[in-house]
Structure 1
Amino acid sequence: MLKALLFSLLLTLASSTPCRRTNTPTPQKATSYLQPDPSASTKINGTVDITQTKTGLHLKLYIQGLSPGEHGFHVHAFGSIFPNCTAAGDHFNPDNTTHGAPTDSVRHAGDLGNIVANEFGVVDTEIVDSVIALDGRYNIIGRSFVVHANRDDLGRGNAPTSKTNGNSGARVACGVIGIAKS
């Protein structure tokens, strides 16, 4: 009888103890190689190097082959870019909110605003975002970055797609986000 009571007590304690990940460290670095969308006749390519910091996710972008000017840049829901960048799905939006600017309190998690290509079509910039991460609810590992043909209106335009994708146009380049060797 005492053994049965002790066993049921241990079983109750074990089932009420929350599970913890003890052997799976949070990745500190990730990367994405951007390639042109096959349906867009461009030669865009680039890299996004990602580091998790205490102040947010730090993105270092180097992209070439874009038309000069602003281009929408987002994290999309899926890590699939075959047969083209459309396979990446919509913007990463775990909270089911409307599109906005990176600084807006209401925005898709994947809304990273605009990147600016210089007169040679090169983007060499850094972004720090406090919403997306390399673990947890806003984890971007296994999702995709997408570069759009046009400027993102940050959800402030009058176009029908303004509140869903910033009216940023076609997808001209994309890349799957993966864990990088630290």
Structure 2
Amino acid sequence: MRLDALTRVATASLLLVAVSSHANESRDVEMHSVSAEGVGESIGTITLEDTDHGLLLTPDLSGIAPGVHGFHVHQEASCEPGENDSGDMAAALQAGGHYDPEDTGRHEGPYSEGHLGDLPVLIVDDDETATLPVLAPRLSLDDMNGRSLMIHAGGDNYSDDPEPLGGGGGRMACGVVES
């Protein structure tokens, strides 16, 4: 996905102005590549920060395929592989499913009434870096304790149709949120 540099800077600037009013605390989450064999090398960090308008997530990541990627909060604080229903090992399966404290069972995106694990998509530039902040208006830093952040190989349509959980596909990067 190609982003015009001016549009990217303007979007990031507007987002930062909109949410920067009273950030109290922040937390850095180290993100790692993940595979069925385990947790790999660091690909950078995502800074979590409370704002008056929700949780601001600011990535500083590299080495990710360019494009749009599904981005979610997962239930468990683990990035370890696990055995899937077919008996095969799968990347970061110990992170569990998307964070859904109200048991909605619905994937409807970060601005709707579905589960709270839905974050805005992560945009990776042509140089394989992600630095554009995203805002999760229904989350706070307190919600993140004991969770993990997950980046998926594909995009996210914020729906369970035509594919469950937005169609993001495999888990490719993960980070545990330390308390």
Normalized against structure 1, the TM-score is what?
0.72
Distance 1:79 1:43, change over 3 A: closer
1:37 equivalent in structure 2:
34
Alignment correspondent of 1:77: 75
| Corresponding residue for residue 25 of structure 2 | 28
Match among 153, 156, 166 for residue 157 of structure 2: 153
Aligned residue runs from structure 1 range 1-182, under 5 A: 28-39=25-36, 45-83=43-81, 84-97=91-104, 98-104=106-112, 106-135=113-142, 139-155=143-159, 157-159=161-163, 161=164, 165-179=165-179
How much has 1:63 moved relative to structure 2?
1.5
Counterpart residue identity of residue 140, structure 1: M
> Offset of 1:169 from its aligned partner?
0.2
Deviations 1:8-34 (A, max 9, x none): xxxxxxxxxxxxxxxxxxx82222100
Against the structure 1 CA distance between its residues 43 and 80, is the aligned structure 2 distance closer, same or farther, given a 3 Å change threshold?
Answer: closer
Question: Whole-Å Cα distance in 2 between the matches of residues 75 and 54 of structure 1?
Answer: 20
Equivalent pairs, count: 145
**CA shift for structure 1 position 170:** 0.2
CA distance in 1, matches of 2:42, 2:124: 11
In 2: Cα distance, 1:58 partner to 1:69 partner? 21
Aligned equivalents of 2:64, 2:110: Cα separation in 1:
22
- C-alpha deviations, 1:91-119, integer Å up to 9, x for none? 00011120012122x22111003111111
Cα separation, 1, equivalents of 2:98 and 2:157: 15
Percent identical among aligned pairs is: 30
Q: CA RMSD in A?
A: 2.1
TM-score by length of 2: 0.74
- 5+ residue gaps, structure 2: 1-23, 82-90
Query: Which consecutive segments of 4 or more residues in structure 1 shift more than 4 A?
Result: 40-44
- In the alignment, structure 1 segments of 5+ residues that lack a partner are 1-26
Q: Distance in 1 between matches of 2:158 and 2:101?
A: 18
Partners of 1:149 and 1:44 lie apart in 2 by 17
